[in-house]
Amino acid sequence: MIQKTSPRIAQLSPNAVTVLKRRYLKRDTGGEVLETPADMFRRVADTIAAADSLFDEKADTNELSDEFYSMIAGLEFVPNSPTLMNAGRELGQLSACFVLPVGDSMEEIFDAVKFTALIHKSGGGTGFSFSRLRPAHDAVKSTTGVSSGPISFMRVFDVATETIKQGGTRRGANMGILRVDHPDIMDFIMCKADKKQLNNFNISVGLTESFMDAVKHDEDYDLINPRNKERTGTLNARKVFNRIIVQAWENGEPGIVFLDRLNRDNPTPLVGTIESTNPCGEQPLLPYESCNLGSINLAAMVEKGQISWARLREVTHRAVRFLDNVVEVNRYPLPEIAKMTFGNRKIGLGVMGWADMLILLGIPYNSDEATVLGEKLMKFINDEGHEASRALAAKRGPFPNFKGSLFDQRKEAPIRNATVTTIAPTGTISIIASVSSGVEPLFAVSYVRQVMDGDILVEVHPYFEKIAKERGFYSPELMKRIAEKGSVKDMDEVPKDIQRIFVTAHDISPEDHIKMQAAFQKNTDNAVSKTVNFSNGATIDDVASVYELAYRLGCKGVTIYRDGSRDKQVLSKGKGITEVPKPDIAEEQKVVKRQRPKILQGWTYQMQTGCGPLYVTVNQDAAGLFELFTTMGKAGGCAASQNEAIGRMVSLAWRSGIQPRQVIKQLQGISCHSPAGFGENKVTSCADAVAKAIQSHMAEHGYEAAVCEKASFFKGACPDCGGIMEHEGGCAVCRICGYSECA
């Protein structure tokens, strides 16, 4: 039992307070904040503790609420965002993600679209398998016509997601999976290659053990029509695998999931087959299941340079009870989801602050010692979590679908929850706890952010700042230089032992990323959300080796991101690339507007904005970019006039000698009330669309880098606050205000 102490609240960082005010705290109809962070923690604790009275009328829920409050407000454990936002409030929807079935009839498909809208409205994200849909050009008996195939219907889900404003704050996120033996698999692999469609989807190919065996032996494999289970043809497995790798190298998608491994660990095979996961890939779910997640702050489990295993055990047991109570008091958006979730009672207890724990222990992330400890730590949490779940089963009964489950088949003691552990990316809740996300390494040791009044602030990791001051190498100038780079690698002023401990995601080899993912996967019921970072110069063979290593080491899926692969940027000059002439100093002092020739060469780019399609035409002369015109898809209106004004001012700037990248810098990231797209392709306003069009033009026509190296490292600016965006688990999260592009 956790020793009874007076309820307390940990000191929240300025970023944590910002995130809570923007995303979590209760507001009135006028937008005024009605509660403090302490009020929110108490609201959550009271609501979840109240579930105990459903099992024991005499239960002291006040005492339990104090224990939950102390654990959450002390930042030792934090539940997933919907629980923080909605517990004790009218909506009451506490789950982060769901999986919905997509059947092969028009009725089933559009039922799934409707259910998706309801889930996104309630604040959740959705995963789908489109593998049941018959392939394109297949027969449709009811109309004597032909099928349009799964990709065309994915576009319907994408448009519906774009339309529904999720929870009033952010758009919904989806995971789309297609089996590798589906006849349309090659079209699916390429469906996001142009980066112009399905922007509200992460996509992954569902790989089977037989396919991976065919890859190993360079053999053909069969394609199966899901409508009639008949063979429709064959493909070479190695060529298909290579195409997946090439596309992932080019823009990070598709990811891969190993379907047979998901179903090997499916605890309730008699209830159904696992076909898909949540949007970030860590939670395999049956159709109509939901996930209820929460994470232990590992940094808070370190005392005097050692792991407090006793404290970790106590928090694990308390967190399992908390999450089981969440299942009980949750308000599910569909009766089918309530039935399936109550039947299996899956929970996902994970971790965050792993990189911070390693720093406190003095262990480099990319070391054998770290991977061995990661495996040991997660085994401890998994074992203790299962023990806690069995203790609950003794009092409350096992999950209803226990009979025939893997636990029952193995003659194990009854357990309350079909799954107990999951490693989620943690996103904004790790900002609340002021620790690193999930099991990821540090994103940056120091970084620069611009506040609302235009001032530039340097944010430094608190552990690094403390050590730097204690050992006498701290200086504001050094912190600024580190912020520009994001890393302390090869910086002479920083001692070598400190460099080894404060490694970042881009300092670590892709192989070390995968080894860490595999170490945690060995003792995790569900899956591990982890992004494998590659440098921009990584080769296709580098990606291939990591995919194969992930398979050999037992991972359940892989998500990669090659730096700059989703930004159309030119990082070096090569043969045939033309450099834009630079005016000399005298010319810069005397601005002379270039005269327009009668004939100019131009290119037109179609950009999707929240106001509709925007056509951006960029004209250039021998000296470089010359003028810009815009045309809205819907003529007239305020948007069209504002875009015309932007075009005139950009043209004037270019003809007056302003560098194109300076124009991009001023326009990119400007946000309006109606953004469009998702992830790397998100367009936050018409001005942002113009910036992206110019950026694309410069990349395509060999101009100097349209974005600086730092922007590439930090993955662009947050559309809400201008803070850095961190890539994790197929999503992007702002480390300043908590803005997230995924549910």
Q: Which of 280, 721, 731, 742 is catalytic?
A: 280
Count Cβ atoms below 10 Å from residue 59 Cβ, excluding itself.
15
Which is nearest to 423 in space by CA: 513, 346, 530? 530
366 as an active site residue: the answer is no
- Please say whether the beta carbons of 234 and 220 come within 8 A: yes
Count Cβ atoms below 10 Å from residue 454 Cβ, excluding itself.
6
What are the start-end ranges of the E strands in 261-388? 276-277, 284-285, 290-291, 293-297, 302-303, 306-307, 348-352
Q: Which letter, b or e, does each residue of 301-310 get, where b requires 16 or more Cβ atoms within 10 Å of its Cβ?
A: bbeeeebeee
Which CA distances in Å does 534 have to 509, 672, 700? 8, 33, 23
Instruction: State the sign of the Cα–Cα–Cα–Cα dihedral 398, 403, 409, 411.
Output: positive
- Please say whether the beta carbons of 437 and 728 come within 8 A: yes
Give the torsion through C-alpha atoms of 724, 161, 91, 274, to 10 deg.
-100
Q: Which of 80, 174, 278, 417 is catalytic?
A: 278
CA distance 511 to 534: 10
C-alpha 512 chain-centroid distance: 20
Count Cβ atoms below 10 Å from residue 395 Cβ, excluding itself.
9
282 as an active site residue: the answer is yes
Which CA distances in Å does 372 have to 312, 353, 365, 369, 510? 18, 17, 11, 5, 18
Beta-strand pair 284-285/276-277: antiparallel
Residue type for position 127: G
Q: Which of 67, 253, 275, 282 is catalytic?
A: 282
H or E element in which residue 258 lies:
strand 255-258
- Please say whether the beta carbons of 251 and 543 come within 8 A: no
- Please say whether the beta carbons of 213 and 258 come within 8 A: no
CA distance 436 to 426: 9
80 as an active site residue: the answer is no
Establish whether the linkage from the previous residue to 719 is cis, with ω within 30° of 0. no
Q: Which letter, b or e, does each residue of 326-340 get, where b requires 16 or more Cβ atoms within 10 Å of its Cβ?
A: bbebbebbbeebbeb
CA distance 720 to 704: 28
Instruction: State the sign of the Cα–Cα–Cα–Cα dihedral 447, 452, 456, 460.
Output: negative
Instruction: State the sign of the Cα–Cα–Cα–Cα dihedral 708, 712, 714, 717.
Output: positive
C-alpha 459 chain-centroid distance: 23
* Phi, psi for 604 (deg, rounded to 5): -115, 135
DSSP letter for 400, please.
Answer: G
Determine the Cα angle at 252 with ends 248 and 258, to 5°: 65
Which CA distances in Å does 311 have to 297, 427, 433? 11, 24, 17
Residue 430: burial class (beta carbons within 10 Å; 0-12, 13-18, 19+): buried
Q: Half-sphere exposure (CA, 13 Å, Cβ side) for 233?
A: 9
What the block records as the tokens of 44 is 């959550």
CA distance 657 to 649: 13
What the block records as the tokens of 572 is 């070096």
Query: What is the length of the chain?
Result: 743
* Phi, psi for 112 (deg, rounded to 5): -65, -35
Which residues, in sequence order, are bridge partners of residue 504?
A: 442
Say whether 345 sits in a helix, a strand or coil: coil
- The residues that are catalytic are 278, 280, 282
